Amino acid sequence: MPLNAIEGTGTTPGVPAEVPEPQAVLGTLTTSATFLVVSVRDTAGADARVLDVAADIGSLVRAVGFRQSEAGLTCIVGFGSRYWDRVRPGGPRPAHLHPFRAIQGARHDAVATPGDVFFHVRANRQDLVFELTRLLMDALGDDVQVEDHTVGFRYFDSRDLLGFVDGTENPTGRDAAAAAIVGPDDEPDFAGGSYVVVQKYVHDLAAWHALPVEEQERVIGRTKLDDVELDDDVQPSNSHVSLNTIVDEDGVEHDVLRDNMAFGDPSTGEYGTFFIAYADDPSVTELMLERMFVGAPPGNYDRILDVSTAITGSLFFVPSLPLLESLIDGDDPTVTSADLARIAGQGPARADTEDATAGAGPAGGARGTSAPDGGPSSSAPSAPGSTPGSRPTTDDLRIGSLREEPQ
């Protein structure tokens, strides 16, 4: 298994082979996460530096995750509408990328808050999440302003702080890929990407705990202890389950891929849920939110909002891995196995001068490979007995300047 699904292996379960490698959107749920939303300052060089960090996030993940690969450390990067236009003016843009649409209901509102870049760091060890976030913030430096930083954790058996299991109906396997990953027929330029909506909800736990368990179950639409959905004949039309079930006119149910996390600070009394939903089309998530806040029909809103207040709201596009890596300024082509085979078969290009063999080797010296005994490689002409055009020996093969293909 790769240390970081952001690098991938060339295939992602559930994703067709012709689709570019997605980021770690389809990764398994973890016990720890950090959600980081930043705005990029309008200062000289800030955009280039932030894009370099975002595009090369895999390097930071490897630096931390290699030491505990079984913890599944990943980082997903997304970009907001305003920032996409800022760094890709006049170029193609994701069809459904737009600023988060605030929703005003009769009693409760879904607010829109700023954010240019979103980082979703997750692992099964909080120390790895912390270390990657620390290195990430060091790399971003003063080029960004933090809009929100939330540290999430798995609460018991994947319950939220309201005491109910969260994410029971999450799609898995091919269904997860179909729900969360943009397909080539939908947006060819952005296949392998995803749209993510994030919101931070703060709970009034005192008001919630004042409700009898039976009433809490009617609010959520599931039993509290064993997490069973209420029967249709007793399921309230304004329960959380009812309003978040999207079925079209053909009877097809449309899903999103959630990775919600609980968060809280006992010293301040702030407790809540960080809502995060990946989708191939954000209109599915937006319809869920409209039904929650406005109601279906209007006024029949989600009663969970009586104890849960949305204090943030943002929409980001998560590009595929190849598209994310292409954001780096300048050419840095990856050398493939085919390139290495070609080089091995043809031999290195010969420089006309001795100085041409100097370059950015590991110690800043010649690019030649090490000799079998570990000593420095020879920059002398071909070994005795060799003829022009013959297959080079190991000592003659100089590929030190090439970037190794990730394993």
Cβ-Cβ contacts under 8 Å for 388 (sequence gap 6 or more):
382
Quote the tokens at residue 229.
Answer: 């959905």
Span 392-406, average pLDDT: 36
What is the pLDDT averaged over residues 346-352?
Answer: 48
**Residue 186 designated active-site:** no
Look at the alpha carbons of 293, 299, 302, 306 in this order and tell me if their dihedral is positive or negative.
positive
- Output the DSSP codes for 112-131: ----SEEEEEEES-HHHHHH
At residue 175, the 3 state secondary structure works out as helix
Q: Which residue carries 């798995």 as its tokens?
A: 154
Of the candidates 323, 335, 338, 253, the one whose C-alpha atom is nearest the C-alpha of residue 288 is 253
Q: Cis peptide leading into 297, omega within 30 of 0?
A: yes
**What tokens were used for 215?**
């009433």
- Mind listing the pLDDT tens digit for each residue in 125-139? 999 999 999 999 999
Q: How far is CA 187 from the centre of its chain?
A: 19
For residue 157, give the 3-state DSSP assignment. coil
Contact in structure between 281 and 275 (CB atoms under 8 Å): no
Residues of the chain with pLDDT > 90: what percent?
A: 74
* Catalytic hit among 47, 116, 148, 166: 166
- Specify the 3-state DSSP secondary structure of 61: helix
21: its two tokens: 């490698």
- In the predicted model, is pLDDT for residue 152 greater than 90? yes
Tens-place pLDDT, residues 221-256: 999 999 999 999 999 999 999 999 999 999 999 999
Question: Residues 190-223: pLDDT tens digits?
Answer: 999 999 999 999 999 999 999 999 999 999 999 9
Q: How confident is the model at residue 358 (pLDDT cuts 50, 70, 90)?
A: very low
Q: Over 50: is that where the pLDDT of 333 sits? A: no
> What is the rounded average pLDDT for all residues in the chain?
84
**pLDDT tier for residue 15 given thresholds of 50, 70 and 90:** confident
Distance in angstroms (rounded) separating the CA atoms of residues 113 and 312? 5
pLDDT for 286-329, tens place per residue? 999 999 999 999 999 999 999 999 999 999 999 999 999 998 75
Nearest Cα neighbor of 181 from 69, 318, 363 is 318
The confidence score (pLDDT) of residue 343 equals: 53
Confidence of residue 334 (pLDDT cuts 50, 70, 90): very low
Helix residue spans in 244-319 (DSSP H): 282-293
Q: Looking at residue 259, what is its pLDDT?
A: 97
Cα 36 to Cα 77: distance, rounded to the nearest angstrom: 10
Q: Which residues of 216-254 are buried (b: 16+ CB within 10 A; e: fewer)?
A: bbbbbbbbbeeeeebeeeeebebbbbbbbbbeeeeeeeb
Query: Tell me, what amino acid is at 36?
Result: L
Task: Look at residue 91 in the predicted model and tell me its pLDDT.
Answer: 87
pLDDT at residue 184 tops 80: yes
